[in-house]
């Protein structure tokens, strides 16, 4: 949002498009935020009815993922009609379906979900419409994440990448969240719940132990859903040595399932959990 706003303020919005790649498991308040922000950037009336519709997005785990996908397809269609410069696309799979297809569970080193649902999808969309000299790719990372720029540039080459929030004036996340208040846009609720990013509804295979404990504390049902999915994938692969999380004890790396992590937390063994291990999303890298 802030990167798009900075570009809009500098160069206007006439030739600016917004591209959103939907993993189908985003927090419902992310969809609200995206629709509200996109309308604001293009100086369109606040689409109150669409914002209200976001409240009824089924929770992940409450309905089969295909039902959620249908609801989101419908919402995306309406949002794009109302905000023509917004392009809301989806591969049709969620991260767990990608893991199933790729026969591996994503983790901090290998995140096939990011590769399939974000990187390939967005790149193919751009490639199908623009030659490298016809498009500039703007990404929203900020100056605290500048180390990610070279990998993003490599991934998009030969397209040119610009990361406006890595440039002056440097803003902290709190500055950006305060700006939202100035614009009259509610801060996405995951930030108020202590999440470091607003991706995949507070789930992320690149997250660490602390990240997942935060999910457990804030949304136990969603945690239990992903916990069950991880065990289901292990059964499908016929392997118990593949997990999202690992823990290194005296130099030896061990697998750590979400069920084991929850068991430790629930039985008061929180001290052996590394709550500072938040991990990082880096979805476009």
- What is the rounded distance in angstroms from the CA atom of residue 231 to the CA atom of residue 234? 5
Query: CB–CB of 24/72 below 8 Å?
Result: yes
Kindly state the smallest distance separating residue 4's Cβ from ligand SF4, in Å: 19
Kindly state the smallest distance separating residue 285's Cβ from ligand SF4, in Å: 9
Rounded (5°) CA angle 102-91-160: 100
Give the residue with the Cβ less far from ligand SF4, 40 or 212: 212
- What is the rounded distance in angstroms from the CA atom of residue 279 to the CA atom of residue 133? 35
Kindly state the smallest distance separating residue 284's Cβ from ligand SF4, in Å: 9
Upstream peptide bond of 181 is cis (omega within 30 degrees of 0)? no
Positions touching ligand SF4 (CB under 6 A) are 23, 95, 106, 111, 113-114, 117-118, 199-200, 203-206, 281, 283
Give the residue with the Cβ less far from ligand SF4, 37 or 199: 199
Read off the tokens for 36: 């509200």
Give the residue with the Cβ less far from ligand SF4, 60 or 83: 60
Largest Cα separation within the chain, whole Å, is: 58
Task: For residue 90, list its beta bridge partners.
Answer: 22
Kindly state the smallest distance separating residue 202's Cβ from ligand SF4, in Å: 10
Give the residue with the Cβ less far from ligand SF4, 200 or 273: 200
Give the residue with the Cβ less far from ligand SF4, 4 or 205: 205
Query: CB–CB of 41/185 below 8 Å?
Result: no
Kindly state the smallest distance separating residue 205's Cβ from ligand SF4, in Å: 5
């Amino acid at each position: 949002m802030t990167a798009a706003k900075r570009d809009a303020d500098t160069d206007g919005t006439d030739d600016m498009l917004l591209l959103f790649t939907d993993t189908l498991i985003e927090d419902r308040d992310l969809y609200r935020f995206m629709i509200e922000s996109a309308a604001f950037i293009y100086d369109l009336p606040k689409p109150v009815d669409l914002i209200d519709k976001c409240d009824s997005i089924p929770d992940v785990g409450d309905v089969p993922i295909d039902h959620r996908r249908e609801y989101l397809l419908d919402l995306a269609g309406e949002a794009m009609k109302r905000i023509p410069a917004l392009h809301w696309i989806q591969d049709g799979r969620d991260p767990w379906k990608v893991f199933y297809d790729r026969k591996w569970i994503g983790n901090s080193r290998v995140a096939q979900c990011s590769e399939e649902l974000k990187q390939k999808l967005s790149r193919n969309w751009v490639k199908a419409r623009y030659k490298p000299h016809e498009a500039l790719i703007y990404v929203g990372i900020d100056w605290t994440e500048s180390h990610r720029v070279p990998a993003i540039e490599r991934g998009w080459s030969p397209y040119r990448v610009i990361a406006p929030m890595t440039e002056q004036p440097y803003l902290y996340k709190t500055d950006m969240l305060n700006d939202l208040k100035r614009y009259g846009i509610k801060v996405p609720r995951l930030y108020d719940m202590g999440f470091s990013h607003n991706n995949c509804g507070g789930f992320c295979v690149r997250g660490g132990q602390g990240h997942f404990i935060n999910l457990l504390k804030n949304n136990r049902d969603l945690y239990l859903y992903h916990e069950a999915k991880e065990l289901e994938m292990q059964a499908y692969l016929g392997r118990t040595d593949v997990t999202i999380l690992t823990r290194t004890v005296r130099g030896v790396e061990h697998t750590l399932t979400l069920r084991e992590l929850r068991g430790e937390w629930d039985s008061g063994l929180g001290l052996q959990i590394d709550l500072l291990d938040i991990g990082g999303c880096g979805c476009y890298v």
